[in-house]
Amino acid sequence: MSIGLDNLKHIVVLMMENRSFDHMLGALKMVDPRINGLSGDEFNPDTQNASIKVQPLAEYQGQLDPDPDHHFPGVNLQLYDGAGGPPAKPTMQGFVKSYFQKRRDVNHSHKIMYYFPPEKIPILTGLARSYAVFNGWFSSIPGPTLCNRAFAHYGTSFGEVGMNLFYLNVPFKSIYERMLNAGRTAKLYYFDQQSSSQEVVNLLKKQPQLFGLYEDFLRDCKKNRLPDYCFVEPNYSDHEDDGGGELIASDQHPDHHVLAGEAFIASVYNAIRKNPTLWKSTLLLIAYDEHGGIYDHVPPPACTPDGFTASAEATGTGAPFAFDRLGVRVPAVAISPWIPRGTVVAGPEDPVNGRVFEHASIPNTVMQAFQIQDDNRSPREKAASTFLDLLSDQMRPDSDCPVFK
């Protein structure tokens, strides 16, 4: 066991919304070639068969409107470009054609290939360069938000591939329940009541005591009351608080302003970073739930099936889905002073040392960290890669760890 792992007392996960790895971090390849990002030659055909290359022209807001398709059939088109399907390897050539369907505007459809230069999103890229960036973190299924987030909470989505989630008589408990049953502490912090949690139907309704607000998270960080494991949700909407003040959406879901999400990421990081006790004993993971329909160049790999099947009717593609392949790659950064600067966790591009991660890696890592024995979990979760090995024996000095202001 490393000294960093020995010191670990808290794991915090912040899950953002709907941006692909290449869109947010792809430009870092030019700064660090170990990062499996963009060379600039990646392209997709548009509806007129023109080759549309990736370009560093992503804008903070107003560009990805209407919202790109990220439901199961739409993602299927993005992966396979309408030709073939599993078990063939995805071609990753259907993103522009998929986005064209939203507005029937050829020029507008090209914007799905745009990505951010690092200086436009200094918080996320700064964290990726300062700590550990995952080349191979994929969304858990090639579909939308709720079923992907379910993998982070339960290690499975119980056969769901859409947005209608009412789990009845589920065979596996959430990671929060497992933590509590093992005498540990766990919490989900949502931003405020107007934003609420995405886990409304199941966790919020059945176990409201698991929840807190973001102001509670900040207070708990300050007062050393952070639970062993917690999950933080950003603000999902532009709305006013009770005093009439403007609260801007911070989830980075298109078309919310990306800089609001940067500020929120900075806020979560700073809350931990500024408390020395917490800083040396906390592992923070920032991950995105799914790619939002935005381009990424890495074909999602196959994975251990989780024992459920979605029908052809449910998938909308004419074929059932056995939860045996992952969704599109998303940004994921692990943060701790025990992680060496500039760590790049190799992904499928490295056939020898590469590892594949997905959202089921989260509950599996938490189980491992707190040594909770419970075999009643989905096969996907039990097989998921964990990331505690990123914690080394050396704690970096404060002078080597960024602060955001």
Partner 1 sequence: MAKSENIIRILKLPSDAFNKHRPVSDLLWTQVEHLAAVVKGMIDTERRAITTEEQASAFIKKYTAFLHQPAAGKKPAASPNGTRKKTARSSGNGAGKKTARSSKR
Site residues for partner 1 per CB under 8 A: 17, 60-61, 67, 120, 122-123, 126, 144-146, 163-166, 196, 198, 200-201, 204-205, 236-240, 246, 248, 253, 255, 257, 259-260, 262-263, 266, 398-405
Nearer to partner 1, 76 or 125 (CB): 125
Closest CB 322 distance from partner 1, rounded Å? 25
CA angle, residues 250, 212, 215, in degrees to nearest 5? 55
Q: Which of 235, 57, 74, 219 is nearest to 141 (CA)?
A: 74
> Shortest Cβ distance from residue 397 to partner 1 (Å)?
10
Sign of the CA dihedral with 267 first, then 269, 270, and 274 last:
positive
Nearer Cβ to partner 1 (51/164):
164
β-pair partners for 321: 310
To partner 1, the closest distance from the beta carbon of 81 in angstroms equals 23
Residue 251, CB-side half-sphere exposure with 13 Å CA sphere: 25
Q: Which is nearer to partner 1, 43 or 60 (CB)?
A: 60
Name beta bridge partners: 283: 11
- Report in angstroms how near the CB of residue 399 gets to partner 1 at its nearest: 6
Q: Which is nearer to partner 1, 232 or 356 (CB)?
A: 232
**Half-sphere exposure (CA, 13 Å, Cβ side) for 257?**
8
Q: Supply the DSSP string of 62-131, one letter for each residue.
A: SSS-SPPP-SHHHHHHHHHTTS--TTSPP----HHHHHHHHH--HHHHGGGGB---GGGSHHHHHHHHHS
Name which of 15, 44, 13 is nearest 294 in CA terms.
Answer: 44
Nearer to partner 1, 123 or 390 (CB): 123
CB of 112 to partner 1, least distance (A): 17
Which stretch of DSSP H or E encloses residue 146?
A: helix 145-154
Give 252 or 343: the residue with its C-beta nearer to partner 1: 252
Q: Quick check: 203 and 188 in contact, CB under 8 A? A: yes
**216/255 with CB nearer partner 1:** 255
Minimum distance, C-beta of residue 50 to partner 1, in the bound complex (Å): 29
Minimum distance from CB of 339 to partner 1 (Å)?
A: 16
